[in-house]
Amino acid sequence: MRFQTMSFAAPERLTTGDFVLRPIRAADAELDYAAVMESRDFLRGWEQTGWPEDDFTVAANREDLEMLERRHANREAFTYTVLNPSQTECLGCVYLMPTDARSLSRAQITPVGNDRWDEYDAAVYLWVRKSQMPAETDRALLDALRAWLAQEWTFRGVLYLTSELFTQQVAMIENTNLRLQFEVRESDKPGRYLAYA
């Protein structure tokens, strides 16, 4: 996969006045679970699945985080938890995937403009917990990510993806200077993912 062949060290931290990003760990299961379950209604549209189920547990979440922590260590994909400055509350999550990840390589990708998918190294997905949306933490996170990825990472190009079913996030992204570049359709999902750059 693309990240494993690239010679860069994934930054360990992004700190702003509003939040801290650091690699997610299995030990974050309880904090992450609280954010996930508070936000489950929109996460189901963002994921385009039934996740998280109403009976989702902290133990099941810990298993998910163990997998994400392992993938991060193996450079398959990078997952960061978004924490408040005191690191006592999870505000959301950021996922950086290579654009040749299995789920994306099997998807039907339709260019909207003249760009080619292989001109981009990374696909970024993000969410913030429901209670953070009125404060526009999602927009602050997106803005901070764009600067961080441009300054501290060595990707040729970065795409920001969201589900068309998560209309609030689509509107938030479209209120930036990012422009829709690709429509991504996975065969097992009811809607498209929209990729912006």
Share of the chain above pLDDT 70, in %: 99
Q: What is the DSSP string of 162-191?
A: EETT-HHHHHHHHTSS--EEEEEE-TTSSS
What six digits make up the tokens of 26?
Answer: 């299995």
Query: HSE of 30 in the Cβ direction (CA atoms, 13 Å)?
Result: 3
Among residues 90, 85, 177, 97, which one has the least CA distance to residue 127?
A: 90
Which sequence spans correspond to the domains of the chain? 2-196
CA–CA dist 40, 170 (Å, integer): 18
pLDDT of res. 32? 98
Average pLDDT for 42-60: 96
Mean pLDDT of all residues in 165-187 = 97
- Quote the pLDDT of residue 4: 85
Residue that the structure tokens 């300054």 belong to: 151
**Rounded CA gap, 183 and 121, in Å?**
17
User: What local confidence, expressed as pLDDT, does residue 1 receive?
Assistant: 52
CATH class of the structural domain 2-196: alpha beta
Q: What's the average model confidence in pLDDT over 37-64?
A: 96
Q: In the prediction, which pLDDT does 141 show?
A: 98
pTM: 0.96
Q: What is the pLDDT of residues 114-162, one digit of tens each?
A: 999 999 999 999 999 999 999 999 999 999 999 999 999 999 999 999 9
CA–CA distance, 5 with 8 (Å, rounded to integer): 9
The dihedral through the CA atoms of 30, 32, 35, 39 has a sign that is negative
